[in-house]
């Protein structure tokens, strides 16, 4: 960790050598959601809302690698056609178990005060992520939820849109977490916020790409035995 210039100094050096203003957050902590904050893949968990808790084989076979968000659009459409309402989906999301120790970790993070800024980057969807975090009492901890936008539409279907378009060949078509995190850092820099260090907590292969933004002194926390850990 980079230290303050003196005991009485009111400002500290950030990771890019800038001077951090007094009161500004010093560290950015980024979480993934599926199999990181929660102990399941929420896109798979939502099948519990389907009649018989299963999807038609033809629908499951329509999933293409790199275009999972399009598959989930079809899943939500199918569920709506079967009479599954957004409140039913919310109940499933709210019941997904947190990963072991995650509740205690988030409580610890909340006690760190304004020096630590917390965001979430997830290839799930905002409706599901916010539903689970709200039910756990942790939604207010996160300054920003960066995920695929989703909300009930006029037909009572959960409408899902891609997070953004990008040119990264390593990531799904709807989200590159490297770009999402980079865009966020540039946005905060325009606000005058320059972090001393970044901390990134994740599990999946798509959590490996944003690690290219980490510099000396930054820390990645991969879930042991999961794709991000194996790639590192």
Q: Binding site membership: which residues?
A: 32, 34, 43, 123, 203
On whether the pTM is more than 0.75, the answer is: yes
* Two structure tokens written together for 19: 């001077």
Give CA 156 to chain center in angstroms. 25
pLDDT at 68: 85
Per-residue pLDDT, 163: 95
Catalytic residues: 32, 34
CA distances from 106 to 14, 75, 102, 110 (A): 24, 31, 6, 6
The full set of domain ranges for the chain reads 12-39+98-231
CB proximity list for 224: less than 8 A, separation 6 or greater: none
Task: Write out the binding residues for substrate.
Answer: 43, 123
Give the C-alpha separation, 131 to 148, whole Å. 14
pLDDT number for residue 67: 86
One pLDDT digit (tens) per residue for the chain, 232 residues: 333 333 333 345 565 656 555 678 999 999 999 999 999 999 999 999 999 999 999 999 999 887 888 999 999 999 999 999 999 999 999 999 999 999 999 999 999 999 999 999 999 999 999 999 999 999 999 999 999 999 999 888 899 999 999 999 999 999 999 999 999 999 999 999 999 999 999 999 999 999 999 999 999 999 999 999 999 9
Q: Burial, 182: exposed, middle or buried (Cβ in 10 Å; 0-12, 13-18, 19+)?
A: middle
CATH of 12-39+98-231, one of 3.40.50.1000, 3.50.50.60, 2.60.120.260, 3.30.70.360: 3.40.50.1000
Tokens of 193: 């916020």
SS3 58: helix
Which residues, in sequence order, are bridge partners of residue 98?
38
What is the H or E stretch that residue 91 is in?
A: helix 86-95
Nearest residue to 38 (alpha-carbon basis) of 93, 95, 99, 82: 99
| Rounded Cα gap, residues 176 and 128, in angstroms | 19
């Amino acid at each position: 960790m980079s230290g303050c210039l003196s005991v009485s100094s009111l400002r500290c050096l950030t990771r890019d050598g800038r001077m951090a203003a007094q009161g500004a957050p010093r560290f950015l902590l980024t979480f993934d959601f599926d199999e990181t904050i929660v102990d399941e893949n929420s896109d798979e968990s939502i099948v519990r809302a389907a009649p018989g808790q299963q999807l038609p084989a033809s629908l499951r076979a329509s999933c293409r690698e790199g275009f999972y968000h399009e598959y989930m659009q079809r899943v939500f459409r199918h569920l709506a056609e079967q009479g599954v309402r957004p409140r039913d989906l919310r109940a499933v999301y709210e019941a997904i178990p947190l990963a072991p120790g995650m509740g205690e970790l988030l409580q610890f993070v909340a006690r760190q005060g304004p020096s630590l800024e917390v965001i979430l980057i997830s290839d799930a969807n905002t409706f599901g992520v916010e539903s689970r975090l709200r039910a756990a009492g942790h939604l207010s901890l996160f300054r920003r939820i960066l995920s695929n936008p989703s909300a009930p539409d006029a037909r009572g279907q959960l409408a899902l849109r891609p997070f953004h378009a990008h040119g990264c060949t390593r990531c799904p078509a709807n989200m590159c977490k490297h770009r999402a995190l980079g865009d966020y850092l540039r946005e905060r820099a325009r606000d005058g916020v320059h972090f001393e260090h970044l901390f990134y907590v994740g599990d999946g292969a798509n959590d490996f790409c944003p690690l290219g933004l980490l510099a000396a002194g930054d820390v990645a926390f991969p879930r042991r035995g999961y794709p991000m850990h194996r790639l590192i």
